[in-house]
Structure 1
Amino acid sequence: MTQDLPEEKSRAAAWFRALRDEIVDAFEEVETRHEDGPRADQPAGRFELRDTKRTAEDGSDAGGGLMSVMRNGRVFEKVGVNVSEVHGRLSPAAQKSMAARGVPGIAENPSFWASGISLVAHMQNPHVPAVHMNTRMFWTPGAWWFGGGADLNPCLEYDEDTAHFHSTLQSHLDPHDPALYPDLKRWADEYFYIPHRGRARGVGGVFMDDRNSGDWEADFALTQDIGRAFLPAYLPLVERRRGQTWTEADKEAQLVHRGLYAEYNLVYDRGTKFGLATGHDPDAVLMSLPPLAKWV
Structure 2
Amino acid sequence: MSEAMLPEKSQASAWFRTLRDEIVASFEALEDSHDTGPFAEAAPGRFEVTETTRHSDDGSDAGGGLMSVMRGGRVFEKVGVNVSTVYGTLGDAAQKAMAARGVPGAAEDPRFWASGISLVAHMQNPHVPAVHMNTRMFWMPAAWWFGGGSDLNPCIEYDADTAHFHATQKAHLDPHGEAEYPRLKAWADEYFYIPHRKRARGVGGIFMDDRNTGDWIADFTLTQDIGRAFLPAYVPLVEKRRVMPFSEADKDTQLVHRGLYAEYNLVYDRGTKFGLATGHDANAVLMSLPPLAKWV
TM-score band w.r.t. shorter chain: over 0.9
Partner of 1:43: 43
Partner of 2:110: 110
Contact 1:3/1:141 (CA < 8 Å) preserved in 2?
no
Distance 1:61 1:279 in 2: 12
Amino acid at match of 2:31: E
SS at 1:118's partner residue? strand
Partner of 2:272: 272
The two structures have a TM-score, normalised by structure 1, of 0.99
**Equivalences for residues 152-171 of structure 1 within 5 A:** 152-171=152-171
Partner of 1:139: 139
State the Cα deviation string for residues 55-87 of structure 1 (Å, max 9, x = none). 111111100000000000000000000000000
Residue 217 (str. 1) matches residue 232 (str. 2): no
Distance 1:42 1:229 in 2: 30
State the Cα deviation string for residues 238-295 of structure 1 (Å, max 9, x = none). 0010000000000000000000000000000000000000000000000000000000
Q: Which moved more, 1:267-276 or 1:52-61?
A: 52-61
**Equivalences for residues 13-24 of structure 1 within 5 A:** 13-24=13-24
Which runs of at least 4 in structure 1 moved beyond 4 Å after TM superposition? none
Shift of 1:180: 0.4
Partner of 2:196: 196
Unaligned runs of 5+ in 1: none
Shift of 1:88: 0.0
SS at 1:240's partner residue? helix
Amino acid at match of 1:130: A
SS at 1:197's partner residue? coil
Amino acid at match of 1:57: D
Amino acid at match of 1:147: G
Amino acid at match of 1:119: L
SS at 1:112's partner residue? strand
Partner of 1:89: 89
Contact 1:91/1:277 (CA < 8 Å) preserved in 2?
yes
Q: In percent, how many aligned pairs have the same letter?
A: 77
Contact 1:126/1:155 (CA < 8 Å) preserved in 2?
yes
Distance 2:160 2:129 in 1: 12
Q: CA RMSD in A?
A: 0.9
Partner of 1:174: 174
Unaligned runs of 5+ in 2: none
Amino acid at match of 1:288: S
Contact 1:95/1:106 (CA < 8 Å) preserved in 2?
yes
Contact 1:136/1:147 (CA < 8 Å) preserved in 2?
yes
Distance 2:86 2:21 in 1: 19
Distance 2:191 2:222 in 1: 19
Partner of 2:58: 58
Amino acid at match of 2:251: K
SS at 1:174's partner residue? helix
Shift of 1:3: 8.0
The two structures have a TM-score, normalised by structure 2, of 0.99
Partner of 1:124: 124
SS at 2:175's partner residue? coil
Partner of 1:9: 9
Distance 1:117 1:35 in 2: 30
Distance 2:79 2:3 in 1: 37
Distance 1:18 1:91 in 2: 30
Distance 1:175 1:138 in 2: 24
Partner of 1:74: 74
Distance 1:193 1:59 in 2: 38
Contact 1:276/1:282 (CA < 8 Å) preserved in 2?
yes
Distance 2:218 2:90 in 1: 27
Distance 1:41 1:167 in 2: 34
Partner of 1:205: 205
> Alignment length, in residue pairs?
295
